[in-house]
């Protein structure tokens, strides 16, 4: 089976590069010049970087100087979490607490765990059954001791369920107490409207491969007035916040992808959401006891998260893959690890319910034929997965 005959419905893990981004990347690959060099080739490379920075800033509603290039979303999240906390706790030793939602990506949760092991008081806040942050609990946590909070981190949209988080409410609460807010917007940029200045957040993470750009490049949009302690030290690139030789080709492709995905966001969202809704309705018709996660919540347009009682998600994924349909059981960063999703557990699912899930995520290359392929396969796949699960149970389980 060739790539052209496969159905790709895992855009939340990575989405195919846009042709314009490929062109921008490959054009720069043929050129030479370190953007920190002072000769003509270096100046040409620097011009590409700064023009790319301006394009990203215009697309995201921020100032060019607020765009700090990184190697991707994980580095940007680490820089935000560690860098902001370290700077604020150094300035005021009372700042010992970080608040975050319990459904953050591991690029946020793991640095928080690392800091917790080193004495930082990390509080993970609950979500409801639709994966939406409980703002009342956040308020209670803040108001218990506002002077001790160094940072609040809440993702713009959840990567597994697709639920949009109440960022405006989080920001309003944080501003009452002068607490900076970081948001991981990796899933949101290009999928829903994202305006850095209008949102009021202080730091925002995005990455190239989720918006049709290359792997290995991303950015932390960082309010100029906010002090951040670097986590990488070297040449002092990126306003002394993030050292490292600047990847000019990747940044050129990244900027084109951000610009195009934001420009086409509204039209793409309407088309993709219609496909997603059709997929969900037809899968429910084919498998009537399927459970749809996030019902009633405001979701990203391309996310469909479904739970199939009596099935193991890994079995469903492999059976669909054998039929040429590619999807996910959750975050790609945890693929292959036999454990229930922390997101679904936080939503109140049992471990069995959490393990029975599939995530279909649609994107700019998705078509009605992709939906047809899922619907054609799903009933037989679920029947076979249930029979396998029953057989395992009959001989004593795993």
Q: Is 311 a catalytic residue?
A: no
Residue with tokens 């049992």, as numbered in its chain: 350
Strand bridging mode 357-361 / 291-292: unpaired
Backbone angles phi, psi at 326, to 5 degrees: -110, 125
CB of 251 within 8 A of CB of 244?
no
CB atoms within 10 A of CB 373: 19
- 38's CB contacts (< 8 A; 6+ apart) are none
- Marked catalytic residue, from 62, 131, 311, 333: 333
CB atoms within 10 A of CB 100: 23
CB of 76 within 8 A of CB of 70?
yes
CB atoms within 10 A of CB 288: 7
CB of 167 within 8 A of CB of 154?
yes
Active-site amino acid positions: 333
């Amino acid at each position: 089976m060739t790539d052209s005959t496969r159905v790709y419905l895992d855009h939340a893990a990575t989405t195919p590069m846009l042709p314009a981004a490929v062109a921008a990347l490959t054009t720069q690959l043929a050129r030479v010049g370190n953007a920190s060099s002072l000769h003509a080739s270096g100046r040409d490379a620097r011009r590409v970087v700064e023009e790319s920075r301006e394009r990203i800033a215009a697309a995201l509603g921020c100032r060019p100087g607020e765009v700090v290039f990184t190697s991707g979303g994980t580095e940007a999240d680490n820089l935000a979490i560690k860098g902001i906390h370290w700077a604020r706790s150094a300035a005021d030793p009372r700042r010992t607490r970080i608040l975050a939602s319990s459904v953050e990506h591991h690029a946020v949760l793991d640095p928080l765990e690392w800091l917790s092991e080193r004495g930082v008081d990390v509080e993970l806040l609950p979500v409801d059954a639709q994966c939406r942050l409980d703002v009342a609990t956040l308020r209670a946590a803040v108001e218990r001791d506002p002077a001790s909070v160094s940072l609040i981190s809440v993702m713009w949209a959840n990567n597994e369920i697709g639920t949009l988080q109440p960022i405006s409410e989080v920001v309003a609460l944080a501003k009452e107490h002068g607490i900076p807010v970081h948001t991981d917007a990796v899933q949101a940029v290009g999928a829903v409207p994202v305006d850095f200045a209008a949102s009021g957040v202080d730091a925002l993470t995005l990455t190239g491969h989720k918006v049709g750009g290359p792997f290995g490049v991303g950015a932390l949009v960082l309010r100029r007035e906010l002090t951040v302690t670097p986590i990488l030290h070297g040449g002092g690139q990126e306003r002394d916040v993030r050292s490292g030789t600047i990847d000019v080709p990747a940044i050129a492709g990244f900027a084109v992808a951000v610009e195009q995905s934001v420009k086409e966001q509204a039209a793409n969202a309407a088309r993709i959401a219609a496909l997603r809704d059709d997929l969900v309705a037809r899968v429910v018709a084919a498998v009537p006891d399927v459970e749809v996660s996030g019902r009633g919540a405001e979701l990203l347009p391309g996310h469909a998260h479904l739970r199939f009682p009596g099935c193991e998600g890994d079995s469903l994924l492999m059976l669909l893959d054998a039929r040429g349909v590619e999807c996910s059981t959750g975050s790609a960063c945890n693929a292959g690890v036999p454990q229930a999703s922390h997101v679904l557990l936080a939503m109140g699912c049992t471990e069995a319910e959490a393990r029975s899930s599939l995530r279909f995520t649609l994107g700019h290359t998705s078509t009605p034929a992709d939906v047809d392929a899922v619907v054609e396969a799903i009933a037989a796949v679920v029947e076979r997965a249930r029979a396998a699960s029953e057989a395992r149970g009959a001989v004593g389980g795993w």
